[in-house]
Every structure is written in structure tokens, then in C-alpha cells.
Amino acid sequence: MSEPNKLRKLIAFLTGILLIVMITQLNFSDLSFKTNWRMYIPIFSAILVIISLFLSNRYDSKKEKNV
């Protein structure tokens, strides 16, 4: 496994841990956007970061197979 792939997996893992911490900070008694907007935006961005890291790993692994 190449060094960038390891780094991407590490960043995805750390982002996943932060995502779990952010989810625990939600106000579960009132899940409206009005009360939890400060947590919904980072949760959404963390999910997008994890998806982009895994897709870039997948793209690089396909590119390595073709070369």
C-alpha cells in the first residue's frame, strides 16, 4: 500500500472519530435544524470528507492496476 493511501485512511479514521464525537453532542430531545445547526454542518462535511477520501483511494488503486 502506498504512503498516500495510508495517510488517507488515517485521516478518514480520525474524521470518523470526530464524527462520532459530534453526533454525541447533538440535542436528541429536539433534532430540528434550528437547535442543532452548529452540529449538522460539521457532521455533513465530515461525511463528505470520508467519502472523498475513500473514493480517491479507490481511484488510485484502479489507476495502479492499469499501469
Cα separation, 1 vs 37, in Å, equals 39
The pLDDT value recorded for residue 58 is 86
HSE of 29, CA atoms in CB hemisphere, 13 A = 0
Averaged pLDDT for residues 42-65: 89
Single pTM value for the model? 0.80
Q: Using 50, 70 and 90 to split pLDDT, how confident is the model at 2?
A: confident
The pLDDT value recorded for residue 1 is 63
E strands along the chain, which residues? none
The answer to whether residue 55 scores a pLDDT higher than 80 is: yes
The pLDDT value recorded for residue 64 is 77
